[in-house]
Amino acid sequence: MAVARVVGQAEARLEGCRTVEVDLAAVESIDGAGAVLLARCLDRLDASGLTTRVIEGRNPDAARLVALYRRSRLVGGAAAHPQTMSALTRLGIATAGLPRQLTDALDFIGRCAAAVPKALVRPRSVDWRSLPALLQSIGADAVLVTGAANLLVGVIIALLGVSQLGRFGAVAYVPELVVVAQFRELGPLVTAIVVAGRSGAGLASEIATMKVSEEIDALRAMGFDPIRWLVLPRCLALVAVVPILTWIGDVLALVGGLAATSLITEMTPRAYVLATERTITATNFFGGLIKTPFLALVIGLIACGQGLATRGGAAAVGARTTTAVVLAIFGVIVINAVFTLFLALLGL
Amino acid sequence: MTSTRPHIIVDDLRIGWGSHVLMEHVDFQVERGTTFAILGGSGSGKSTLLRYLIGLDRPKAGRIDIDGVGSPHVHGGVPPFGVLFQSGALFSSMTLAENLALPLTTWTPVRGATVWELCQAKLDLVGLGPFGEHLPGEISGGMKKRAGIARAMMLEPDLLFFDEPSAGLDPISAVELDQLIITLSRDMGITVVIVTHELPSIFLVANDCIVLDKAAKGIVARGDPRKLRDESAIPFVHGFFTRTSLASSGTQGG
């Protein structure tokens, strides 16, 4: 720090000089950083046309260190300073990259679609043996968290219904509200979001790690198609499991609604069950369940696609996992909205 | 095996990304049964060239012909070669035996006890006999590479690619690996293509080589590495084989 101060002051006072002599005789000790600052100062003076000279005095070590840093700069050639980009530049770069990202995504979806008939022709090119473990980790292990989330959503809908419908004396309609809201919208949505966060991150980071540790390259070099071998079973497991998780969640949400309503209102559990039974129609039930395989597919494709697109090291795995989760949750919400709109247009 | 046709023919290959050309006019041939080394400094594109040879990337121009069947990315199905990746690239969720069994059960009708017998034979060959039930995470780096070689050999290929086999190994493990490569080449007649910059290893195993240089964007020398060391007039090649820095002589290096 002392060197930084001295160098800074000295440079300002040297204006008008022709020859500069640096006498190291009084230097007690100098470290690498100090030598760098001194070397750069001498470089600048040289560049502005002055003649510089270092007098080593009884300090040959310090002189050697300064000389080393001056020489290494000459050999290596100075790299351009990394320029900090303005927000507008970054926005431009990001925008310019969008078409490429879109074509990459479409390319990946296309290859996944093409992999399905190929897998049917050659069933052995799919890693069926991993399927039970995948069903376990994506499905069975997730029941607790998706179930709890849906139970609480049921409670929340019921509480909202009681507070709002109760103002009109229409508490009797709370069971119907719980069924319609949960079965058609919130059940599939909440379940898929929990699965996207949980399994989306898991699958993306697993495949990303395989990518950076050359396992994907090894698969390809052995004649395997990573999409058929890895992506297909994962998507299949998700498509099989998410509807079941949603259905279990629906049941638990009804329990939550029942508990909340019968606790805070006069409605008996029996009356609640009877009112619920009437409203569980095929339209309500299947109107929600029909979208769950598509939500599952979105999660699987985004997680696996991000995993396979990973390049680099550990930091890239983390970044891809984050992107996968964000995109998967966003994708789930968008697909859910599309279905809702579509069913509404159909009048269902 | 009696064919005199070169095992690998690379013809006017150009590789790179986008508008950036990494290498161009890459021509070389690998004769059957030889141990062929792809040499060059760090960043010269040795490992990248290997990715193209094994069909992981498509060249911008030029032709790669392996075994007369054409470019490795054109034909689907069983690849006519085995590859050892730098890290071994074993599947971390499977035991060594399962790793080895995978190509067999996928590409051949072999089933049941025969599979495990064949896996055990290959594990014994690379000196990993007792480790079949271990996971890749439980063994050392050198052992992973040997397991990788065993897996690469499961389909009995007559061509093996090695990506920096001795990188990150202690000197003894490295020599053991070199001995294994020599065994594969001499006793089993396998053509070996090896990407490396380990000098002792090159002189021990390779009988033909190409030297890549980043600055020249391609091959700067080819031939027997011992001859190149003694006779090459190209400063970079001479420096590479004799471990002399070019910085002092003022010549550009890769």
| Res B250: pLDDT | 43
Domains identified in chain A, total number: 2
Chain A closest-CA separation from residue B226 CA (Å): 31
| Res B26: pLDDT | 86
Q: Are residues A159 and A229 in the same domain?
A: yes
* In-domain check, residue A81: no
As to burial, measured by CB atoms within 10 angstroms (0-12 exposed, 13-18 middle, 19+ buried), residue A111 is: middle
Chain A interface disruption, residue of B47, B50, B102, most A CBs within 10 A: B102
Task: Give the domain extent around A8.
Answer: 2-76
Q: Are residues A154 and A300 in the same domain?
A: yes
Phi and psi of B25, rounded to 5°?
55, 45
> pLDDT tens digits, residue range B60-80?
888 888 877 666 655 467 788
CB A10 within 8 A of CB A2: no
Closest CA to B27 of B71, B63, B69: B63
Q: Are residues A337 and A253 in the same domain?
A: yes
* Residues in chain B whose Cβ is within 8 Å of chain A: 51, 54-56, 76-79, 83, 85-87, 89-92, 102-103, 105-107, 247
The average pLDDT across B37-62 equals 85
* In-domain check, residue A104: no
Partner-chain contact A222 B54, CB within 8 Å: no
Partner-chain contact B92 A215, CB within 8 Å: yes
Instruction: Determine the Cα–Cα distance for residues B232 and A205; give it in Å rounded to an integer.
Output: 48
Does residue A96 sit at the B interface (CB-CB below 8 Å)? no
Phi and psi of B193, rounded to 5°?
-115, 125
- The beta-carbon neighbor of B78 closest among A124, A218, A223 is A223
- The beta-carbon neighbor of A214 closest among B79, B87, B102 is B87
- The beta-carbon neighbor of A215 closest among B54, B78, B91 is B91
Closest CA to A149 of A246, A13, A243: A246
| Res A140: pLDDT | 92
Question: Confidence class of residue B252 from pLDDT cuts 50, 70 and 90?
Answer: very low
B141-152 helix and B113-125 helix, angle to the nearest 10 degrees? 130
Q: Per-residue pLDDT for B99 more than 70?
A: yes
- B78 contact residues in A (CB cutoff 8 A): 223
Does residue A101 sit at the B interface (CB-CB below 8 Å)? no
* In-domain check, residue A109: no
Partner-chain contact A223 B56, CB within 8 Å: no
Instruction: Determine the Cα–Cα distance for residues B125 and B147; give it in Å rounded to an integer.
Output: 10
Does residue A217 sit at the B interface (CB-CB below 8 Å)? yes
* In-domain check, residue A93: no
pLDDT in tens, chain A (348 residues): 666 777 777 777 777 777 888 888 777 778 888 888 888 888 888 888 788 888 877 778 888 888 888 877 665 555 555 667 888 999 999 899 899 889 999 999 999 999 999 889 888 888 898 999 999 999 999 999 999 999 999 999 999 999 999 899 888 999 999 999 999 999 999 999 999 999 999 999 999 999 998 899 999 888 888 999 999 999 999 999 999 999 999 999 999 999 999 999 989 999 999 999 999 999 889 989 999 999 999 999 999 999 999 998 889 999 999 999 999 999 999 999 999 999 999 887
CB A29 within 8 A of CB A65: no
Dihedral sign (CA B48, B82, B188, B166):
positive
Partner-chain contact B55 A217, CB within 8 Å: no
Does residue A220 sit at the B interface (CB-CB below 8 Å)? yes
- The beta-carbon neighbor of B87 closest among A125, A213, A222 is A213
Question: Confidence class of residue B249 from pLDDT cuts 50, 70 and 90?
Answer: very low
**CA B216 to each of CA A24, A138, B99, B213, B221: distance values in angstroms, whole numbers, following the listed order:** 45, 51, 40, 5, 11
Partner-chain contact A215 B102, CB within 8 Å: no
For B170, the token pair is 């202690």
Q: Are residues A173 and A71 in the same domain?
A: no
Q: Are residues A199 and A53 in the same domain?
A: no
Partner-chain contact A214 B85, CB within 8 Å: yes
Q: Are residues A49 and A172 in the same domain?
A: no
* In-domain check, residue A100: no
| Res B1: pLDDT | 47
3-state secondary structure at position B162: strand
* In-domain check, residue A87: no
Last residue of a domain, one of A60, A76, A92: A76
Instruction: Determine the Cα–Cα distance for residues B186 and B125; give it in Å rounded to an integer.
Output: 14
Q: Which chain A residue has its CA at the smallest distance from B53's CA? A: A221
Q: Are residues A325 and A190 in the same domain?
A: yes
CB count in 10 Å sphere of residue A197 = 17
Q: Are residues A131 and A56 in the same domain?
A: no
A87-121 helix and A292-308 helix, angle to the nearest 10 degrees? 110
| Res B41: pLDDT | 80
Q: Are residues A23 and A145 in the same domain?
A: no
Q: Residue A25's domain is classified under what CATH number?
A: 3.30.750
> pLDDT tens digits, residue range B203-241?
888 888 888 888 888 888 888 888 888 887 788 888 888
* In-domain check, residue A262: yes
Which DSSP category does B114 fall into?
H
The average pLDDT across B138-160 equals 88
3-state secondary structure at position B35: strand
| Res B230: pLDDT | 82
Look up the ipTM and state it. 0.85
Does residue A215 sit at the B interface (CB-CB below 8 Å)? yes
- A128 contact residues in B (CB cutoff 8 A): none
CB B69 within 8 A of CB B5: no
Q: Are residues A72 and A131 in the same domain?
A: no
Q: Which chain A residue has its CA at the smallest distance from B77's CA? A: A223
The yes/no answer on whether domain B1-81+159-254 falls in CATH 3.40.50.300 is yes
What is the greatest pairwise CA distance in chain B?
A: 63
- A214 contact residues in B (CB cutoff 8 A): 85-87, 89
- B87 contact residues in A (CB cutoff 8 A): 213-214
3-state secondary structure at position A186: helix
Does residue A107 sit at the B interface (CB-CB below 8 Å)? no
Does residue A46 sit at the B interface (CB-CB below 8 Å)? no
Give the number of beta-carbon pairs within 8 Å between A and B: 47
Instruction: Determine the Cα–Cα distance for residues A281 and A279; give it in Å rounded to an integer.
Output: 6
Closest CA to B82 of B44, B46, B45, B50: B50
Q: Where in chain B is the domain with CATH 3.40.50.300?
A: 1-81+159-254
Last residue of a domain, one of A14, A47, A76: A76
Closest CA to A138 of A187, A204, A202: A202
Higher pLDDT, B5 or A306: A306
Query: Could you identify the residue written with the tokens 């499991």?
Result: A241
**CA A207 to each of CA A37, A331, B31, B93, B247: distance values in angstroms, whole numbers, following the listed order:** 46, 20, 37, 12, 43
Q: Are residues A51 and A180 in the same domain?
A: no
Partner-chain contact A215 B54, CB within 8 Å: no
Q: Are residues A301 and A231 in the same domain?
A: yes
